[in-house]
Structures are given as structure tokens and as C-alpha cells.
A = this chain, B = another copy of it.
């Protein structure tokens, strides 16, 4: 139905596109959308809107709700997202363990699991876990989003240093276990997608920079990952941005890499790791060398300025654990990204909204791939509260 993406059949392509448009309108206004509203929102006739709604209800993607208050005539039947059937499987793979979440179409988490493994039995442990989910929720899996550190084209893991994987056709493997389309997403990309999802109607380019043990970047366009091959994109950590005496040696062997200045490990000392909890990081921030923070902000600002000049993004968002660095760090980045001369607009820079749950990005990506639909920010936030 909606799943069969971009078919060559041309017959029914219009239907699929209209189903997506109708569904998107329900996702954007769950609980208040109506058939008449879909007709108005799409420009289609009321008859067509009714027909589309009937098919979406039939597919268990949406359900009828209460009667809305009258606006001068017959009361409308509201429509909302059907959270009772389809599930999105989210798999967050990390070196020592993976987290599994089952997300309903309204964004709520229905189930959560964790799989621990050693490098040796990881493959089998993952397969077993995915197969177990498939057995527990037969015929209910709509799509799966797999989030992992490393580069991917959506189907295969091209290279993951952390997981020690190279050219692993993971999507294909999982699809044999769960009978639903599987999409692989880089972890920083997923973070960027989740962040863009918090915005009501994201428009234009948005630059997302992850600051953690390493540094990564992602670019979204209108709330979705910028199109094009993503083979190696966003691997910005080992670009040289500091020169001369100030350039520090980096773990990669070069000197003056962005990561050697702006990664949290560089600014907060070697005690920092991504596994630390918030209070522990705050403690590190309190005793950090101000000079290191300043240098990190400056290096980061250099990169932001250059990319902003090229792409003219509407916003720059700094994510990862960066928010613990507080306003002083952000202010310095902002000051350094200002253009002293010429009328060039100043790019807004801010920290990521911490309300999106870890699984949100991969879930959103899988949902978009499967249904061509985006969640409503309220739904995402509600889900994060759960």
C-alpha cells in the first residue's frame, strides 16, 4: 500500500501520494483532523478524502475519534493516529549492548529491551533479539530503524570503527527476520533528525553538530536528512581547523583537528567518556580549564562559519552532551560566529532540545521511509515523558 515506495507502476502512484498526504495531515493534527480538513488541506474533493480515510482506517493507520464541536454545521468526526496495531522497531546498537524500543504510531514506547553482548557473540545476540521481537509482535512490525555509530548508506554498514564492522549488509539480514523494511541510520544523523522533529515546521538547511567523545555533523533539509549519498558525510572530526603552535596532536595522528579542540574529551580532560552521567560531566565542567573551553569554542565556530557561508542554514544546533557546558560556552561560540563586517546575517546557534528520547531519530527516519510521514512535535515530547 503506502509502503511500496516510488514504484515504476505509475498506476496507483497518485493514490499512494494522496494517501501519504492524507496520513501526514492526521499525523500533524492528531485528534483534531477531520475528513473535511483533509479535503481542504490537500485540495482534493471531499469524496476523495473520504475514500482515502476509509483506506487508511482499513490499514489500521488511523482511527475515528469523537465528534468535534460544531463550527456552524454538522459536527465532524475527528481522526487520530491508530496506536493500537502497527509498531516501529528501533534498535540502537552500541559496542557492548543494544537497546530495543517498540514505538507505536503515536510515538509512545510500547516495549523496551536491552541486549548485552561481547564482540564475539554480538551478531548472534542481535539476530536472536530481533527474531524474538518478531515472534512477540507477529504481523505488527511496520518498519525498523537501526541506529549505530559508523557510516551507512541505509542498507549496509559501510564502516564502523567502534563496532569493527565493514560492509555489513545489516538491513538485508534483519529483513529476513522481521518482514518489514529496515533502515540503517548513523547515530549523529539520528540525533539531528530527532532534533529537527522537535520543530513544528522545519524549513531550510539545519546544521547539527554532535559534541561528545568525538565530533560529528549532520545536515537536515526541511526536517529530513539532506538528500544525496551519505556514504561518508558528516565525518568532520578530523578536519584541521587549528594551525600553528595552538594545534594539538589528535588521536588520528594529525594535529589541530576539530576533535582535538572541541570534543568534550579535549575540553574536559581525558576523564570524560560518553558513558558518564550528567552530574559527573557537570563536575568535570566545573574544574575544566577555561582556556581549553575557549579554544574549543573558537575551533567549533570556525567550522560553523564556513559551513554557514556555504549552505546558509536557518539554524545551527549543538547536540551530544554539549548542553552541560552551559551558556558561557554557547555565548562564546555565538560571538565567534558573528560577522564583524558586511551585512551577512548572523546564524542562530543553540543547544539541542534535550527532550527527544534516544530512539526518536531512528524511529522518525523509519516512519518517514515507510509511510512518508513526520510526527508532530507534541507527540515526540509526550513520548519522551513516558
A341 contacts chain B at the CB level, 8 A cutoff = yes
Is the pair B342, A238 in contact by a Cβ cutoff of 8 Å?
yes
Give the dominant DSSP class at A's interface: loop
Q: Which residues of B contact A8 (CB under 8 A)?
A: 42-43
Partner of A306, one of B44, B306, B342: B306
With A and B bound together, what is the CA distance between A303 and B235 in angstroms? 15
With A13-B14, A205-B228 known to touch, is A309 a contact of B236 (CB < 8 Å)? Answer: yes
Enumerate chain B residues within 8 angstroms of A43, measured Cβ to Cβ.
8-10
Q: A238-B309, A303-B306 given as contacts; is B10 within 8 A of A253 (CB)?
A: no
Q: Which of B13, B240, B309 contacts A239 (CB 8 A)?
A: B309
Q: Which B residues are in CB contact (< 8 Å) with A302?
A: 240
Q: Provide the bound-state CA to CA distance between A10 and B13, in Å.
A: 11
Q: How many subunits of this chain does the assembly comprise?
A: 2
**Least CB separation from A222: chain B residue:** B228
Q: Which B residues are in CB contact (< 8 Å) with A241?
A: 306
Contact assessment for A230 and B312 in the assembled complex, using a CB-CB cutoff below 8 Å: yes
Q: Which residues of B contact A240 (CB under 8 A)?
A: 302, 305
For A, the interface residue count at a CB cutoff of 8 angstroms equals: 55
A340 touches B254 (CB 8 A): yes
> For residue A252, which residues in chain B have a CB less than 8 angstroms away from its CB?
341-342
Bound-complex Cα distance A333 to B306 (A):
18
Inter-chain CA distance A234–B344, complex, in Å, is 12
Q: Which residues in chain A, 337-381, are within 8 Å of chain B measured between CB atoms?
A: 339-345
A307 adjacent to chain B (CB < 8 Å): yes
Given A10-B44, A243-B244, A312-B232, A253 contacting B341 (CB threshold 8 A): yes
CB < 8 Å neighbour of A309 from B42, B44, B235, B342? B235
Complex Cα distance A230/B204, Å? 9
Q: Measured between C-beta atoms, what is the minimum distance from A338 to chain B in Å?
A: 11
Question: Which chain B positions have C-beta within 8 A of A10?
Answer: 14, 17-18, 42-44
State the CA gap A303–B309 with chains docked (Å): 11
Q: A10-B14, A14-B10, A204-B228 are in contact. Are A310 and B341 (CB under 8 A)?
A: no
CB closest chain-B residue, reference A244: B244
Q: Is A194 an interface residue (CB 8 A)?
A: no
Tell me the smallest distance from the CB of A153 to a CB of chain B, in Å.
11
Check A99 for interface membership: any CB of B closer than 8 A.
no
23 contacts between A and B (CB under 8 A): A8-B43, A10-B42, A10-B44, A13-B14, A159-B343, A221-B227, A230-B312, A232-B345, A233-B310, A233-B311, A233-B312, A236-B306, A238-B309, A238-B342, A238-B344, A239-B305, A239-B306, A243-B243, A303-B306, A306-B306, A306-B307, A307-B307, A307-B310
Instruction: Given contact pairs A10-B17, A219-B311, enumerate 11 new A-B contacts (beta carbons under 8 Å).
Output: A8-B43, A13-B14, A233-B310, A233-B311, A234-B312, A236-B310, A243-B244, A253-B341, A253-B342, A254-B341, A307-B307
